[in-house]
């Protein structure tokens, strides 16, 4: 993310309830054909046009081989861009909740990737979709100057255990506005994942998924899950989201010990701790790529741009 001038933000006024959201997603999914999605990628790109990077079958196979247990343990969080490192503020005394380390839930996992020769990780979550194979994360985790490589999602990864295996990424979908200028308003990405070797069931039917919450408002009790620096288990925090007024269309929550690896971590309302299900209304990222200090985190507000990218990612698969 560039540290200087921020692009203009888009505001949305419609509010979808959870039940209305599922109906809207189904309706709009059927209204956008694969042909239209393909045409959009060859047309002149607007900031909200989906840019989809496909990963070849051979590259997916190489990803499966690459992420051995030792490689996963050696991965580190993505570093902050140098301009952001210089602006970290001083610590202020505040009453802020602490997270709890736990074994995680099936709907959220570690997202392993490589940038050049460096092994890194972020956090990602399964979102309910018509195609049943989409994962949500922060765009800055998977698309810098070019798409990351060897991307694999490991649901409920904890202490080296992979209860659902590693799911290599088949496609990475980001907004054209993110690809072109890393617009922090568009710091979200949808990934199509392939089943582990020898299996064929789509991930949503294996792990369950989170509903995508669009225009749900800013103030909510939430549960946030992320993979911390440098631990190999997730942390979870029960806290509240609220509007970050200095930056338009940006949400914030406060909880201690959320470091770089938590980027992409879902902000979940109506959280079911037994199944990991609920509604995801944000993902750590956006302003300051999710935050410069471990006690406060940000997300772009999920409105029309998020829904539009989701529908394009879904439609592009046929």
Note the pTM of the prediction, 2 decimals.
0.84
Average pLDDT of span 21-50: 45
Position 41 pLDDT exceeds 50: no
3-state SS string for 54-95: ECCHHHHHHHHHHCCHHHHHHCEECCCCHHHHCCCCCCCCCC
Position 26 pLDDT exceeds 80: no
pLDDT 10s digits, 278-299: 999 999 999 999 998 889 999 9
**Which has more pLDDT, 11 or 301?**
301
Residues ≥6 apart with Cβ < 8 Å to 196:
64, 164, 165, 166, 167
Angle of the 34-42 helix axis to the 304-315 helix axis, nearest 10: 110
Residue 10 lies in a domain: no
Burial class (CB in 10 A: 0-12, 13-18, 19+), 188: buried
Predicted pLDDT of residue 94: 67
What is the domain range of residue 276?
A: 18-81+96-315
Residue 295 lies in a domain: yes
Provide the sign of the torsion angle of the four alpha carbons 30, 36, 37, 40, taken in this order: negative
Residue 243 lies in a domain: yes
Predicted pLDDT of residue 230: 62
Structural domains counted in the chain: 1
pLDDT 10s digits, 301-313: 999 999 999 999 9
Residue 227 lies in a domain: yes
User: What is the per-residue burial (b if ≥16 Cβ within 10 Å, else e) of 286-312?
Assistant: bbbbbbbebbbbbbbbbbebbbbbbbb
Position 40 pLDDT exceeds 50: no
- Where on the phi/psi map is residue 73: left (φ > 0), alpha (ψ -120 to 50), or beta? alpha
pLDDT 10s digits, 160-186: 999 999 999 999 999 999 999 999 999
Residue 101 lies in a domain: yes
**Both tokens of residue 22?**
């599922």
Distance between CA atoms of residues 108 and 119, nearest Å: 20
Residue 89 lies in a domain: no
Residue 65 lies in a domain: yes
In CATH, what number is assigned to the domain containing residue 108?
A: 2.40.10.10
Position 78 pLDDT exceeds 90: no
């Amino acid at each position: 993310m560039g540290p200087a001038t921020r692009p203009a933000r888009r505001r949305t006024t419609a509010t979808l309830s959870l039940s209305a959201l599922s109906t809207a997603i189904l309706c709009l999914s059927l209204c956008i054909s694969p042909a239209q999605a393909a045409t959009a990628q060859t047309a002149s790109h607007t900031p909200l046009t989906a840019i989809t990077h496909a990963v070849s079958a051979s590259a997916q196979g190489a990803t499966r081989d690459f992420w051995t247990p030792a490689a996963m343990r050696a991965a580190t969080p993505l570093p902050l861009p140098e301009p952001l490192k210089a602006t970290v503020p001083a610590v202020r005394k505040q009453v802020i909740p602490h997270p709890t380390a736990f074994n995680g839930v099936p709907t959220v996992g570690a997202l392993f990737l490589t940038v050049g020769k460096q092994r890194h990780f972020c956090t990602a979550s399964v979102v309910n979709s018509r195609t049943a194979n989409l994962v949500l994360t922060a765009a800055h985790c998977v698309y810098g100057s070019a798409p990351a490589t060897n991307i694999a999602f490991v649901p409920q990864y904890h202490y080296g255990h992979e209860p659902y295996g590693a799911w290599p990424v088949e496609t990475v979908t980001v907004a054209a506005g993110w690809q072109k200028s890393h617009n922090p308003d568009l710091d979200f990405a949808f990934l199509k994942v392939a089943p582990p070797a020898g299996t064929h069931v789509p991930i949503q039917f294996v792990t369950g998924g989170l509903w995508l919450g669009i225009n749900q408002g800013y103030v909510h009790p939430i549960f946030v899950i992320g993979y911390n620096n440098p631990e190999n288990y997730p942390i979870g925090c029960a806290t509240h989201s609220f509007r970050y007024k200095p930056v338009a269309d940006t949400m914030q929550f406060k909880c201690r010990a959320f470091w770089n690896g938590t980027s992409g971590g879902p902000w979940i309302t109506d959280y079911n701790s037994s199944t990991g299900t609920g509604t995801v209304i944000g993902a750590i990222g956006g302003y300051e790529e999710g935050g410069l200090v471990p006690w406060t985190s940000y997300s772009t507000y999920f409105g029309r741009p998020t829904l539009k990218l989701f529908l394009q990612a879904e439609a592009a698969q046929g």
